[in-house]
Every structure is written in C-alpha cells, then in structure tokens.
Amino acid sequence: MTTDIQDRFDKLIEKAYELFPQNLEVDNYMQPCDCDIKPIYPVRYAYVNFFGKELEKPAAPPDIHTLMFSSSIEKTKGYAARLLRPGWIYIKEEAPLTARGSKARGLLHIFKYCVSEREANGKKQRVEKFKKYMFLNRKDASEGLIPEPGIRGEGHPFLFVAKDVINISIAYSEHPWHASVLDKMNGSLALRQKTMQFINLDKEQSPFAVKASVKYFRKLIVDYKIQQEQFADIKAIIEKDINELDLATARIGALTTQESYEMDADVIIKAINGYLHLHEQARIIILHDPVGRQRDIAEVYSILHLWQQSYNASNIYPLTIGFYVERLKATKDPALKKKIDD
C-alpha cells in the first residue's frame, strides 16, 4: 500500500514539473511557480602565475574578497576567479536545519556541470547547465544515480539548495565520485570536514562566498569582464614589447586549459532574481580545483616548450654560431683566447 501511494505521489510530482517547467537555460528566462530554493553560482580558483620576470611563490589562494578587490598578482598570489571546468559538484546541507525540526537530516545535492559554446553579439559565450541527479533508490548511491525527471533534467543555470539552508559543505570533482565514496561523504561529518569546503550562505564576510550581484560578477569573475579588462593584473607585468603583443586584445586564457569568455552578468542575475523574494540574496561561491591548477601549469609549460622549439628551428644558424663562439671563449689556450677577444 505504501509503495502504491509513493508511486502515485511521484507521478503527481512529474505532472507538476510538466505543467510548471523549470527549463532554466540562461537566455530563456522563465518565472517558476515554486521559488523555495537558494541559488548558488560557483566559480573556481584558477592558477595564472605564469607571467612577468619573477613569479609569485606558491601559496594557498586568498579569500574571495581579497581576490575580488586586489589589482596585483602579488596580492592575489597568482590566482583568478574563472568559470568551472566541466565536472561534478556535490553539496551537503549542514546543520542547523531549524525549519525542518531538530532530527532533520540534510540532503546531498549532486549536479553535473555541462557546457557548450555560442556567439552573442560577436562575443564568445559559454552556455552553462547544472544538471541535477538523484539517488535511484531514493536513499543512497548503491544503485546508481538518475537525472531529475521531466524537463528539469535538462539543467539549470546555477546550483541551488533549499531556502532554509544556511550552512553547506561543497566540493568540485572533474570525475564523478564512486558510489561508496558518495555514501561515506553523505554519512560522515568528520570526513566532509577533511575533504569539502564549509560555507555559510548568509554570512556577509564568508571567505568563499559573496553576494550575487551584477557588480560582483563583473568585479570578481574574469569571464564576466569585458575583454580589455580580463587579466588586467597579468597584462600589467608583461613586458610591453614582447613579440609586439597587443595587450589590449590579448587573450591570456588561451595559454591555459580553459579559454576566457565574455559572459553577460545581467542575464544570469535576471535568472537568479526570479527565485528570490524581497531582501533575499543568492551567492557566488569559489571552489578549490587543485587538479585544474596542475592542468593549467602543465598546459602553459607545454606551450612554452613548443614556442622554444619553434624559436630554435627559426634561429638554428645564429644559435649554432653562438654556441661555438661560447665554446671558443672558454678555451684555456692563451693565444686562441687573445684572437677571439680581439
């Protein structure tokens, strides 16, 4: 009997999704009937410590406020806020969940971050979709995951948790976690404290979160700035005459694993605000991505290696002559050394 009631309830929910769709592609804004969620827009700590005569010493990334308001590589410690790499985001609702009773257990939200590209008004933009997944058996990951039913399974323009959630733990992974890992994370606060970022979504001075506004999107995130302002702190330390590089139009992102885009902050804020009531706020959060940092480093060095090979091939004759001259200068024969010096 209980199973029959649950099945009927599930069908009613699916029917509601069909009647009131939440196909939230950023450029197709729709006002949903249920707004009982708190939007979250994630970005990542990207590593851009590759330019200038002297690199910054390796260090942990700064808090989100320092990153947003600093104008030098020295203060940002070589990091920048950039769009996520495709992958998976895991969010656990943490206590207290006062609106649900003292014994309520927070849910684990699972999202797959999928991307494509488009061109709008001559600007290359990324289309972002956060596709929500659920436990197949509705209790744990042992039987696998399934996407949200109906049109909602096509994805959302941001992450979200229930509106009553204040504290979350969150982690990004390029690849999906194994079922056993998911269940361990879901059931162990101690394990989450060791491996995930804990963020208070209501706190104004959170080290990893800031209010989601047009101003902060453009101030913080490289890909929401106009092209001329992207990586401004990096362009400031590049030698102005390096290969006659046009610093005003240079796309520094091309030297990393992720190219930079020119996203529209007004569009994403319009989608987010459709879920907010008066005085409510969404959050931009920044996530650690250590694998992405290593990939960026490897990408830059591979490009530099190719440039060096190209330079050597183009200058093989003068380089060879120079090599032999240097060897002759190192001779210990006084007579030969005098002739070379002359």
d(CA 102, CA 4): 29
Confidence (pLDDT) at 6: 65
Q: Domain map of the chain by residue range?
A: 21-288
Confidence (pLDDT) at 65: 96
Is residue 206 within 8 Å of residue 64, measured between CB atoms?
A: yes
Q: Burial, 244: exposed, middle or buried (Cβ in 10 Å; 0-12, 13-18, 19+)? A: exposed
Structure tokens at 319: 């380089």
Confidence (pLDDT) at 327: 72
Please, how many CA atoms are within 13 Å of residue 342, restricted to the half-sphere of its CB? Answer: 6
**10-residue block means of pLDDT along the chain (342 residues)?**
64 57 40 71 90 76 94 86 97 88 85 94 90 95 93 90 95 97 97 97 94 97 81 53 48 61 94 90 96 81 62 64 70 72 68
Is residue 236 within 8 Å of residue 184, measured between CB atoms?
A: no
Confidence (pLDDT) at 281: 92
d(CA 170, CA 139): 19
Confidence (pLDDT) at 247: 44
Comparing CA positions, the residue from 267, 255, 252, 257 lying closest to residue 222 is 252
Looking only at the bridges linking them, the beta strands covering 209-211 and 283-287 are antiparallel
Confidence (pLDDT) at 18: 52
CB atoms within 10 A of CB 328: 13
Name the β-bridge partners of 40. 159, 283
What's this model's pTM, rounded to 2 decimal places?
A: 0.76
